[in-house]
Structure 1
Amino acid sequence: MTRVKRSVHARKKRREVLEMTRGFRGEANHNYRRAKEALLKADQYRYRDRRNRKRDFRRLWITRINAAARMNDLSYSQFMHGLQLAGVEVDRKILADIAVRDAEAFRRFADKAREALAAAA
């Protein structure tokens, strides 16, 4: 079997890893072995947190909607159930944005939810 000289490829591979770990602390940005370990861990965090970001934002939106609903004398669950009964199809992201930026529009949503709850009872 012929001999393979790896110096060019090995240097390129190490340089790429060290470039990706720029900004890491301690030896993790200039020692290849530590940098490779740190990069593997960083990739695990990135993969996990791309999924967690979705649940974090949903929690934030629900918190904002709940706060605004309680200012209009409704709980979050009553508010969302009332909107469902009223046939209002606005997602939580938009509702949270309205709650933060336009209290008057949110009040109208709350009134609509309250009316639908009263009609259902």
Structure 2
Amino acid sequence: MSRVTTAVATRQRKKKIFKKAKGFWGGRKNLYRIAKEAVMRAGQFAYRDRHNKKREFRSLWIVRVNAACRMNGISYNAFINGLKKNNIAIDRKMLAELAVHDPLAFTRIVEAARKESAAKAVPVAKGTPEIGPA
């Protein structure tokens, strides 16, 4: 029977780790044991933050839509409620894009949402808010 060595497999395994650790600082890029731990930890952070990114972007879209709604004199809650009642299926990402890049189209969507819904009137934001006595 022929003799089996693990040299090729070991070299490939180490090469894969070092490739993933490229750009790391100090021994984390060229000492195998340390690099392996650093790559594992980086993978955990990457996994966690891929999920957090979705959460953070949704939050950003909501903030942008809310600001645009208030500029059109309607609360975010009433706007979303009006969209649902009128069966307007536009997600928050697209609403935020419209609010930023095409405010006229967003205003038309607000008017469509306002028709059916008993929207709570919100004062339109003009200038800076007044600060009361301290």
Partner Cα separation in structure 1 for residue 15 and residue 87 of structure 2 = 58
More helix by proportion, 1 or 2?
A: 1
Aligned residue identity for 2:12 = K
Partner Cα separation in structure 1 for residue 61 and residue 110 of structure 2 = 16
Does residue 74 in structure 1 map to residue 39 in structure 2?
no
User: Match for residue 32 of structure 1?
Assistant: 32
User: Match for residue 98 of structure 1?
Assistant: 98
User: Match for residue 61 of structure 1?
Assistant: 61
Does residue 9 in structure 1 map to residue 9 in structure 2?
yes
TM-score by length of 1: 0.86
TM superposition shift of 1:7? 2.5
User: Match for residue 22 of structure 1?
Assistant: 22
Runs of 4 or more, structure 1, over 4 Å off, are none
Gaps of 5+ in 1: none
Q: CA RMSD in A?
A: 1.9
TM-score by length of 2: 0.79
Gaps of 5+ in 2: 120-134
User: Match for residue 112 of structure 1?
Assistant: 112
TM superposition shift of 1:3? 7.0
